[in-house]
Amino acid sequence: MQEVNVKGPRDKFFKEIENVRHPNETLVKTHCSYCGMQCGMNLRVNTKTNKIIGVEPRYDWPVTVGKMCPKGVTAYQQTNHPDRILKPLIRDDASLKGTQQGFREASWDEAYDLIAKKFIELQEQYGKDTLSVFSGVSMTNEKCYLTGKFARVALGTRYIDYNGRFCMSSAAGGFLRSFGVDRGSTLPWTDIHETDCLFIAGSNTAECHPTSMFRVWNVQERGGYIIVADPRETPIARRADVHLDLRPGTDLALANGIVNLLIQNGYVDEVFVSSHTNGFEETKELVKEFTPEYTSQITGVAPEKIIRAAEIYGMAPNAVVMFARGIEQQHKGVDNVSGYTNMALVTGKIGRPKSGVATFTGQGNGQGGREHGQKSDLLPGYRKITNPKHVQEVCQVWGITPEEMPQPGVSAYEMFELMEQKTIRGLYLLCSNPAVSAPNQNFVRKALKGLDFMVCSDFYLSESAEFADVILPSVTWSEDEGTVTNIEGRIIKINKAQEPLGESKPDWQIQAELAEYLGRGKYFSHLKTARDVADEFRLASKGGYADYYGATWDKIEKQDGVFWPCRDENDPGTPHMFLDKKFYHPDGKAKICALPYRPPAEEPDVEYPLRLTTGRVVYHYLSGNQTRRIQFLRDMCPEPYVEVHPETAAKYMIEHEEYVRLYTRRGEAEYKVKITEAIRKDTVFVPYHFGHDKSINLLTIAALDPISRMPEFKACAAQIEKLDRTEVQ
Amino acid sequence: MVKKRLYLELENCIGCRSCLAACTQCGGHEQRNRNYVYDVNPLVNRQTMPLMCLHCVNPACARSCPAQAIQIHETGAVLSALVEKCIGCQNCTIACPYGIPKFDTEQNLMYKCDLCIDRTKDGIPPMCASVCPSNTLQWLTDEEIEAKQKQFNLDNGKWVTSMPYLEGETNVRVNLPGILQGVTKLF
């Protein structure tokens, strides 16, 4: 009984099931390496070879109860993959940059020596800020935390940013503006199936967060409703009660249109709005214009669908508004987030169980990784680098003076602009593959190629590593331990199942050792284990609003994770946000935002009449550097394709499976055509997981959101040229 | 041990093919997947459906086997061909009304879903139903299946979602697409 209480309630999907135990095998409890769902899994380890050999479901993980998508099932195959980089690699001939050629194996000592020499030379000649750090959030909080410290303390540069700018930064910006706090979900995932209405915008949930689906479908099985806003009839949209098939990049108009109907039709929670929010009147005034007809003109969605969607959401006793990159990867991504969040705020469907707002976190640690100082303007605990008090608090933990703390830098894409302008001449890249994932690839690849010196830390030779002078072999998630903050804001524990392969090392160790070579060893030399980093990190977050201080590894183990904020030893954490109806703005109120509509940065015209949008497939993760190497996943989706509606295809006289040239003002690529009625006639879709000349980001636009600096991956203008062939050339 | 069965709710399938990936991970499956997921209407929409061995009570595959290579386990699972008995005649692949048995031409050997017998003989769900993210594949007691079929029982001349069996009697139970047609909305 005691055990059950400590771990919180189990829902109806939880079943006590024993795992299969094969002879000479041990099971290591951990979570998946990929998306924000962080599905529980057991890694099967051979006790004779001490190597990971397979996967076994983790039925006892309350969020996913053993379920895994095909990426999760095959994730273990990354660890002992033949493509692993096993020793540091150095390339002496810089003319080979941008290719896989010219690398030779080296010792760690030689690699560190070379990096320190080059970094110090560059900084002596061009100043501290000539170096940059580009990081990612598919790694533990401990690594994310230390990367921020490494940039500021070991390198002393202002230029650090991370791939969350291409992922979660708009959600962060929108939540901060609406709630004053950025926790991706205001409620635990075990609430999702108990709500009465899910309003899901810009999320291909079935492919990008598949293990949410048994909860999503259960809403309908109980008689509840699913409303989906998406330009494509995704697997979830196919079964939705209402599918709002909007034009890419018009979400804000749809959100305003629905908020207008909620207000006009009496679904406003007057008491909640007057006691706990600001901005209602102003918003009411602004959205008046967004009648169903006007909203329909902008979005292309039939007025009766908009009316029905608003009616369902308004009537639902409990409802959750959910969204993902579809609305966030726009140059008004932050406005879209606040716009849809307005639905929950005007109706008061927030701050109670089974109702709230959630974003589907894209990367494994998209939540935790953005809170602890990898962002150009943030310090651990979601502190601001521009706030002297915050700087003072962090300096105390780090043992530096506030004068030594660098200024805020610039966002991810803007760092490439500074590289191109030679303001930045050196780069330390880890846990990311911007030579696939950044927009406007022709520009980004040129910027990477032009660097004086680049270090890349990765466990495979990624497309971005092809631009490096030195590659440092890092470990996969299964060869290190630490915490990750999942889609719910629940801090969970990743466990080590195998010793690092070859000479590979975890990034926190690489940074601590490299700091020594850079003459900054005294700030890092005490960090001998991942737990050492964890202890310092919890302390550094203490007092910030993303406070992890009370989330000890023991507590995470005992409670099946800890929801932040968790301020001290006795604090069990915070599964539901705002239950006291207190928001994080100074006056304790949430903000209902009046948001004027603006169209996408690039609208279709005569020359480029189609709307291009991008996204994921279920078989691949992010830039595909990991999943494209896994046989099963590669078999299922070996190459990208362009989805075209049959009527559009007829116009261009193109057929299923023929190759076409797709082009925009920025670039071009050739894709196999996939004909489907499950997409708008004015829109084409290409998945973004592929590199080199197959990368759709050769075509995408780098129009940035003014607040989140998120590029507009989801909408630009494109054209198709028929090639008359069915083979790749 | 309460008897449980594989239960399919085709309406839920999202086409992720996690069941196929997981099939390769069951210790006894030599990393080969043994079932199928089909696009129902490939050029039209994204509807998909799994096609799993239904483990017939009187299986055509076993009946058609001249070598008695296909055994039926006491749990009802219709096992993969015994390596030492299978003569590679492929009768079973033709006899099965659902096209389930696969054939390895190199080994001259039939192989098929054995319902992860190493797991299910001890009441542990098969790999496909363990991982299925959409609850298309579930591992349920007869009571749970009966409750499901009551809930979704519908034959209104347009939709038939719950039938006792598709053809002959099977150990696996199936609900066809359309279950939501019978759900009463909350509001």
Tokens of A242: 């209402």
What are the backbone angles phi and psi of residue B72, rounded to the nearest 5°? -110, 120
* Strand residue runs (E) in chain B: 4-9, 36-39, 48-51, 102-104, 109-111, 137-141, 173-175
* pLDDT the model gives residue B182: 80
* Distances, alpha carbon A663 to alpha carbons A184, A443, A610, A643, B172, in Å: 35, 15, 10, 14, 50
The closest of A237, A258, A256, A263 to A307, measured between CA atoms, is A258
- For the CA atoms of A679, A663, A416, A160, what is the dihedral angle to 10 degrees? 10
* pLDDT the model gives residue A4: 38
HEC string of A603-671? CCCCCCCEEEEEECCCCCCCCCCCHHHCHHHHHHCCCCEEEECHHHHHHHCCCCCCEEEEECCCCEEEE
The continuous run of DSSP H or E covering A199 comes out as strand A197-201
pLDDT at A540 exceeding the cut of 80: yes
Q: Is the dihedral of CA A466, A82, A369, A384 positive or negative?
A: negative
pLDDT one-digit tens code per residue, A241-267 = 999 999 999 999 999 999 999 999 999
Tokens of A389: 């008090």
- The owner of tokens 């709307």 is A611
In one-letter notation, the amino acid at residue A677 is E
Task: Centre a 10 Å sphere on the Cβ of residue B63 and count the other Cβ atoms it contains.
Answer: 12
Task: Centre a 10 Å sphere on the Cβ of residue A21 and count the other Cβ atoms it contains.
Answer: 11
pLDDT band at A724 (very low <50, low <70, confident <90, very high): confident
Q: State mean pLDDT over A413-428.
A: 98
Taking CA atoms, what residue in A is nearest to B148? A221
In one-letter notation, the amino acid at residue B72 is I
A88 and A458 in contact (C-beta within 8 Å)? Answer: no
Structural domains of chain B sorted by starting position, each given as residue range(s) with its CATH number in brackets: 4-181 (3.30.70.20)
The closest of A137, A170, A191 to A323, measured between CA atoms, is A170
Angle subtended by helix axes A507-517 and A141-149, to nearest 10: 20
HEC string of A14-73? CCCCCCCCCCCEEEEEEECCCCCCCCEEEEEEECCCCEEEEEEECCCCCCCCCCCCHHHH
Mutate to test the interface with B, among A211, A221, A620 (most CBs of B within 10 A): A221
> Quick one: how many helices (H) and strands (E) in chain A?
24, 28
Is beta strand B137-141 parallel, antiparallel or unpaired with respect to A89-91?
unpaired
Q: State mean pLDDT over A175-191.
A: 97
pLDDT one-digit tens code per residue, A220-232 = 999 999 999 999 9
pLDDT band at A5 (very low <50, low <70, confident <90, very high): very low
- Which residue in A54, A210, A656 is closest to B14 by CB distance? A210
pLDDT at A7 exceeding the cut of 80: no
SS3 state at A261: helix
Q: How far is A179 from chain B, CA to nearest CA, in Å?
A: 30
- Which residue in B11, B45, B180 is closest to A233 by CB distance? B45
CB contact under 8 A, B185 and A213: no
Tokens of A198: 């899910």
Query: Can you tell me the distance from the alpha carbon of A448 to that of A434, in angstroms, rounded to the nearest whole number?
Result: 9
Taking CA atoms, what residue in A is nearest to B45? A678
B77 and B120 in contact (C-beta within 8 Å)? Answer: yes
Q: How far is A561 from chain B, CA to nearest CA, in Å?
A: 21
Measured between beta carbons, which residues in chain A are less than 8 angstroms from residue B119?
20
A425 and A452 in contact (C-beta within 8 Å)? Answer: yes
- The owner of tokens 């979005």 is A299
B36 and B102 in contact (C-beta within 8 Å)? Answer: no
**β-pair partners for A355:** A352
CB contact under 8 A, B15 and A235: yes
Q: State mean pLDDT over A376-402.
A: 97
Cα angle A327-A369-A634, degrees, rounded to a multiple of 5:
70
The closest of A273, A285, A266, A258 to A343, measured between CA atoms, is A258
Residues of chain B with pLDDT under 50: none
CB contact under 8 A, A220 and B180: yes
Measured between beta carbons, which residues in chain A are less than 8 angstroms from residue B133?
67-69, 210-214
- Buried-exposed string B85-114: b where 16+ CB fall within 10 A, e elsewhere: ebeebebbbeebebebbbbeeeeebbbbbb
* pLDDT the model gives residue B157: 67
A164 and A375 in contact (C-beta within 8 Å)? Answer: yes
pLDDT one-digit tens code per residue, A671-720 = 999 999 999 999 999 999 999 999 999 999 999 999 999 999 999 999 99
Query: Can you tell me the distance from the alpha carbon of A114 to that of A566, in angstroms, rounded to the nearest whole number?
Result: 42
CB contact under 8 A, B27 and A20: yes
- The owner of tokens 């020594």 is A516
* pLDDT the model gives residue B167: 77
- Which residue in A57, A217, A618 is closest to B16 by CB distance? A618
* pLDDT the model gives residue A447: 98
Measured between beta carbons, which residues in chain B are less than 8 angstroms from residue A675?
43
Average pLDDT, chain A: 97
Could you give the percent of chain A with pLDDT greater than 90? 97
The closest of A456, A448, A370, A450 to A411, measured between CA atoms, is A370
* Distances, alpha carbon B51 to alpha carbons A28, B14, B59, B174, in Å: 32, 13, 16, 11
- For the CA atoms of A217, A219, A221, A226, what is the dihedral angle to 10 degrees? -70
pLDDT band at A93 (very low <50, low <70, confident <90, very high): very high
Tokens of A52: 């990971």
Mutate to test the interface with A, among B23, B29, B31, B46 (most CBs of A within 10 A): B46
Report the Cα A384 to chain-centroid distance in Å: 21
Tokens of A656: 């299923």
**What's chain A's length in residues?**
729
Q: How many CA atoms lie within 13 A of A54 on its CB side?
A: 22
Measured between beta carbons, which residues in chain A are less than 8 angstroms from residue B124?
17-20
Taking CA atoms, what residue in B is nearest to A54? B25
Measured between beta carbons, which residues in chain A are less than 8 angstroms from residue B18?
68-70, 72-73, 210
Task: Centre a 10 Å sphere on the Cβ of residue A152 and count the other Cβ atoms it contains.
Answer: 25
A398 and A173 in contact (C-beta within 8 Å)? Answer: no
**Do you find a cis peptide bond into A565, omega within 30 degrees of 0?**
yes
CB contact under 8 A, A70 and B20: yes
In one-letter notation, the amino acid at residue A487 is I
Q: Is the dihedral of CA A433, A438, A443, A444 positive or negative?
A: negative
User: Could you tell me which residues of chain B have a Cβ less than 8 Å from any Cβ in chain A?
Assistant: 11-12, 14-18, 20-22, 24-25, 27, 42-48, 118-119, 122, 124-125, 127, 130-135, 151, 179-180, 183-187
- Buried-exposed string A693-711: b where 16+ CB fall within 10 A, e elsewhere: ebbbbbbbbbbbbebbbbb
Mutate to test the interface with B, among A35, A67, A200 (most CBs of B within 10 A): A67
Query: Can you tell me the distance from the alpha carbon of A188 to that of A603, in angstroms, rounded to the nearest whole number?
Result: 38
Task: Centre a 10 Å sphere on the Cβ of residue A23 and count the other Cβ atoms it contains.
Answer: 5
pLDDT one-digit tens code per residue, A471-480 = 999 999 999 9
Measured between beta carbons, which residues in chain A are less than 8 angstroms from residue B186?
196, 222-224, 317
* pLDDT the model gives residue B159: 65
Q: Which residues contact A268 (CB under 8 A, 6 or more apart)?
A: A262, A280, A346, A347
- Which residue in B11, B16, B45 is closest to A210 by CB distance? B16
- Buried-exposed string A111-145: b where 16+ CB fall within 10 A, e elsewhere: bbebbbebbeebbeebeebbbbbbbbbbbbbbbbb
* pLDDT the model gives residue B158: 64
Query: Can you tell me the distance from the alpha carbon of A726 to that of B42, in angstroms, rounded to the nearest whole number?
Result: 19
* Distances, alpha carbon A224 to alpha carbons A317, A345, B81, B148, in Å: 10, 21, 45, 17
CB contact under 8 A, B25 and A55: yes
Q: State mean pLDDT over A89-117.
A: 98
Query: Can you tell me the distance from the alpha carbon of A305 to that of B13, in angstroms, rounded to the nearest whole number?
Result: 25
What are the backbone angles phi and psi of residue A473, rounded to the nearest 5°? -80, 110
pLDDT band at A1 (very low <50, low <70, confident <90, very high): very low
Measured between beta carbons, which residues in chain A are less than 8 angstroms from residue B127?
57
Cα angle A257-A261-A263, degrees, rounded to a multiple of 5:
115
* pLDDT the model gives residue A729: 65
The closest of A450, A452, A457, A427 to A111, measured between CA atoms, is A457
